[in-house]
Amino acid sequence: MIPTRIDPVVDVLHGVEVPDPYRWLEHGDDPEVRAWVAQQNAATRAELDSRPDRQRWAARLTELMARPVVLGAQVRADTVVLLERPEGAPQARLVARRGDTGDTVVIADPASGTDDGAAAVDWFHLSPDGSLVAFGVSEGGTEHSVLRVARTADGTHLDESIPNTRACSVGWEPDSSGFCYTRYPEGDEYHRTVHHHRLGDPWRDDPVVWAEHPTPQTWPQVDVSPGGRYVLVTAMRSWSHVEVHLLDRSTGEWRDLVAGVEATTSLSFVDDDLLVGVTTLDASNGRVVAVPTAVVVPDEWVTLVPERDVVVGALAVAGDSLLLAVTRRATDHVERVPLGRSPGGPTAGAAEVVDLGVVSIDTLTADPTTGRGAAVVSGFTRPGELVWLHRDRDDDRADAGHGREGDAVDLVVTEVEYPSLDGTTIGMFLVHRADTDPTATDVDLPTILTGYGGFAIALTPAWSPTAVAWCEAGGAYAIAGLRGGLEHGEAWHRAGKRDQKQHVFDDFAAAADWLVSTGRVTRDRLAIAGGSNGGLLVGAALTQRPDLCRAVWCAVPLLDMVRFPQFLIARLWTEEYGDPDVAEEFAWVHAYSPYHRVVDGACYPAVLLTTAEGDTRVDPLHARKMAARLQAATSCGQDRPVLLHQEGRAGHGQGKPVAKRVAEQADVLAFMTWQLGPARR
């Protein structure tokens, strides 16, 4: 164990003494901290590089990650722009194609100009006629994007360069002469504002369109109507509270379409007279609504598709129909809904289902004028690919437009249900090789259990080379659909946030207990894994239930829940977790804060903490402090180590090149095999 300095820091918060013995590890640029990280990295490398199967894992992961994958797409007119990683490429590039299978024009391939491939396209927005695309590029995983503009016909770049455009939203003018866009003040992680830019003008002179922040962390998105009369600002105050504002440029008047209501609403223009979208207002699972631009209040909205037993997610306007992405039992589907106009107002026909298989819908896109639609879909054994959604004689069909099925992976995916501690039924996917039976008592498959449980994010069947490699080798992979996500709508999300957060940890522990009690695995062959909010999940699990499993992978995690809002963009998350500055909410987060729940002398599972110095979402201080605290506290021997690896030139995960992904995941699988043992063939 590496000796780590302990400081006698004790805060008194709301009358409660809160020790923080590793406060000094918060300062990532301090030479002492850098030296400590170097020691930790060296110790971790010595352990994991000595694992005899690490190179085998790396070789298989390299093969799987070499497969072509589409990460995003947008369709306008006869042009589609894709963020794709070609076969064998180290990083994704932005390309344009005309027609369903037209020639490829490379718009941006920023990784090709770097030594380590750690430059990436973060986001992109295609102009209405498909002639121009605005996109953002960042370095080292920071997501601190610089906005650029290029022509899709030949890939030439315009003389545009706008900084501070992280996760930028762009609403193009109808004639592609400029756009409304979001930008941050210099050096500020909050107060994101909407500006207007005319191509060729100095960006510093761009006028402010919207800056009415109800909170500093309010997150606006922007769109411009097809005729240019209206600007739509969708302002997210939290993951459950979204307000919508409409500017009539002809009068300069702003109107609040939704304000002061805890609901989520996402609207898109059909034309200058009509908006359509999805809202959870009076509908936890979401309903599809039509909103005439002349309408003032939600009471006058028209419900096109009422709330059902599916969760409605994304919507795309596709000519005379709407494309909907819906989730049923954590599996995504696409529906086409005919959109009509009558003297009485907008109408909707019966929904037609497009069969895409057992997949996640990563992107849904369509051209509002021509109706050409497409989706980026992925599955447990299927890398993300573009699928065209054609309509022929009123029958929808899906045609693959990019990618391939690739080498066959004979895995079985089973959906099961189990009871949580309070009796709530939770769904779970079980993935394993077709010739293995996870219920056979003489097999005891080494099993990795993962989950997320937060921010209204549903864990649907998504491509994971790590899961595929693990299951190919005879292991099992389990994905639990915890409360806090969106597997069953907004009510499911609210049941796992703020003062209800303990439900998420209970759901996860119950998943592990169910796997053990049903004979699928023993404790010593079970590991848990999670990243970001999922890192908080496994951090809470290992501190609340040290007996739960043998090994833990905790990636880019939140772990000090008492001080988390003080770093980077974390104030964005106080509406999800609670604000420690408020006495009642401090009590919620302090009760489960993993860093503060570590007990000296307890026998903890083996833990691998991974983080990155370029992470601008979750500060790597969380992983550093937790590693130090666990290393000092655990009573288990060297066969259950606590390891930390802090990657350089990487971030929260966005834009990480293949080589870094392979190295990290080879570490993870080598660590898991070391702790759980290999599958018994």
CATH number for the domain spanning 434: value is: 3.40.50.1820
Question: Model confidence at 319, in pLDDT bands (50, 70, 90)?
Answer: very high
Q: Are residues 129 and 186 in the same domain?
A: yes
From 462, 470, 469, select the one nearest 383 (Cα to Cα): 462
Domain boundary among 214, 248, 271: 214
Q: What is the pLDDT of residue 404?
A: 47
**CA of 679: how far to CAs of 473, 476, 643, 676, in Å?**
7, 9, 23, 9
User: Burial, 408: exposed, middle or buried (Cβ in 10 Å; 0-12, 13-18, 19+)?
Assistant: exposed
Whether the predicted pLDDT of 167 surpasses 70:
yes
Q: How far apart are the first and last CA of the chain?
A: 35
Q: Are residues 415 and 393 in the same domain?
A: no
Q: What is the pLDDT of residue 116?
A: 81
Give the model confidence (pLDDT) of 15-42 as tens digits.
999 999 999 999 999 999 999 999 999 9
Quote the number of domains for the chain.
3
566-577: average pLDDT: 96
- Residues sharing a CB contact under 8 Å with residue 140, sequence separation 6 or more, in sequence order: 118, 119, 614, 649, 650, 651
**What rounded mean pLDDT belongs to the chain?**
94
Quickly tell me which residue has 């780590």 as its tokens.
4
| pLDDT above 90 coverage of the chain, percent | 87
* In-domain check, residue 108: yes
When mean pLDDT is compared across 323-327, 328-332, 402-406, 528-532, the lowest value belongs to 402-406
Whether the predicted pLDDT of 441 surpasses 70:
no
255-267: average pLDDT: 95
Q: What is the pLDDT of residue 390?
A: 78
* In-domain check, residue 656: yes
From 510, 442, 435, 440, select the one nearest 478 (Cα to Cα): 510
Q: Are residues 363 and 430 in the same domain?
A: no
In order, the DSSP letters of 320-379 are TEEEEEEEETTEEEEEEEEEEEETTEEEE---EEEEEEEEEEEEEEE-TTT--EEEEEEE
* In-domain check, residue 239: no
3-state class (DSSP) for residue 117: coil
Q: Are residues 129 and 50 in the same domain?
A: no
Integer Rg of the chain from CA: 25
From 127, 81, 129, select the one nearest 108 (Cα to Cα): 81
Domain boundary among 405, 422, 443: 405
**What is the CB neighbour count within 10 angstroms for residue 671?**
26
**What is the CB neighbour count within 10 angstroms for residue 369?**
15
Q: What's the sign of the alpha-carbon dihedral 87, 91, 97, 103?
A: negative
Whether the predicted pLDDT of 102 surpasses 90:
no
Q: What is the pTM of this model?
A: 0.95
- Residues sharing a CB contact under 8 Å with residue 646, sequence separation 6 or more, in sequence order: 37, 40, 41, 610, 611, 612, 613, 620, 623, 624
Give the model confidence (pLDDT) of 267-307 as tens digits.
999 999 999 999 999 999 999 999 999 987 899 999 999 99
* In-domain check, residue 447: yes
Q: Are residues 58 and 81 in the same domain?
A: no
* In-domain check, residue 647: yes
Question: Model confidence at 392, in pLDDT bands (50, 70, 90)?
Answer: low
Q: What is the pLDDT of residue 100?
A: 59
Q: What is the pLDDT of residue 655?
A: 76
Range of the structural domain that residue 340 is part of: 309-405
What number of helices (H) and strands (E) belong to the chain? 11, 37
Q: What is the pLDDT of residue 101?
A: 61
Q: How far apart are CA 464 and CA 379, in angstroms?
A: 8
Question: Model confidence at 430, in pLDDT bands (50, 70, 90)?
Answer: very high
Give the model confidence (pLDDT) of 601-610 as tens digits.
999 999 999 9
Q: What is the pLDDT of residue 638?
A: 87
**What is the CB neighbour count within 10 angstroms for residue 415?**
14
Q: How far apart are CA 76 and CA 89, in angstroms?
A: 27
Q: What is the pLDDT of residue 586?
A: 98
Q: Are residues 481 and 590 in the same domain?
A: yes
Please, are residues 595 and 625 in contact by the beta-carbon 8 Å criterion?
Answer: yes
402-407: average pLDDT: 47
62-69: average pLDDT: 96
Q: How far is CA 422 from the centre of its chain?
A: 28
Question: Model confidence at 402, in pLDDT bands (50, 70, 90)?
Answer: very low
Q: How far apart are CA 448 and CA 456, in angstroms?
A: 23
From 48, 142, 130, select the one nearest 82 (Cα to Cα): 130
CATH no. for residue 165?
2.130.10.120
Q: Are residues 58 and 175 in the same domain?
A: no
b/e burial code for range 145-180 (CB count within 10 A of at least 16 → b): bbbbbbbbeebeeeebebebbbebbbbbbeebebbb
Whether the predicted pLDDT of 99 surpasses 80:
no
Q: Are residues 558 and 671 in the same domain?
A: yes
Question: Model confidence at 73, in pLDDT bands (50, 70, 90)?
Answer: very high
Q: What is the pLDDT of residue 394?
A: 47
474 Rama class: left (phi>0) / alpha (psi -120 to 50) / beta: left
Q: How far is CA 188 from the centre of its chain?
A: 23
Amino acid letter, residue 319: G
* In-domain check, residue 198: yes
Percentages helix, strand, coil for the chain (3-state, rounded to 5) are 20, 35, 40
Quickly tell me which residue has 């020691």 as its tokens.
39
When mean pLDDT is compared across 107-116, 142-151, 540-549, the lowest value belongs to 107-116
From 316, 309, 320, 319, select the one nearest 334 (Cα to Cα): 316
* In-domain check, residue 298: no
Q: Are residues 415 and 377 in the same domain?
A: no
Per DSSP (E only), the strands in 532-605 are 551-555
259-274: average pLDDT: 96
* In-domain check, residue 554: yes
Question: Model confidence at 118, in pLDDT bands (50, 70, 90)?
Answer: confident
Q: What is the pLDDT of residue 406?
A: 46
3-state class (DSSP) for residue 284: coil
Highest mean pLDDT among 49-53, 291-295, 405-409: 49-53
Q: Which helix (H) or strand (E) holds 153?
A: none
Whether the predicted pLDDT of 681 surpasses 70:
no
Q: What is the pLDDT of residue 409?
A: 63
Give the model confidence (pLDDT) of 363-391 as tens digits.
999 999 999 999 999 999 999 999 999 76
353-359: average pLDDT: 89
Q: Are residues 399 and 444 in the same domain?
A: no
Please, are residues 590 and 561 in contact by the beta-carbon 8 Å criterion?
Answer: yes
Q: How far apart are CA 256 and CA 216, in angstroms?
A: 19
Domain boundary among 368, 384, 405: 405
Joined together, the tokens standing for residue 470 give 């693990």
Q: Which helix (H) or strand (E) holds 266?
A: strand 265-271
Q: Are residues 114 and 149 in the same domain?
A: yes
Q: What is the pLDDT of residue 93?
A: 96
Q: Are residues 415 and 505 in the same domain?
A: yes
Please, are residues 304 and 279 in contact by the beta-carbon 8 Å criterion?
Answer: no
Q: What is the pLDDT of residue 405?
A: 46
Question: Model confidence at 355, in pLDDT bands (50, 70, 90)?
Answer: confident
Q: How far apart are CA 579 and CA 401, in angstroms?
A: 46
Q: Which of 114 and 50 is assigned the larger pLDDT?
A: 50
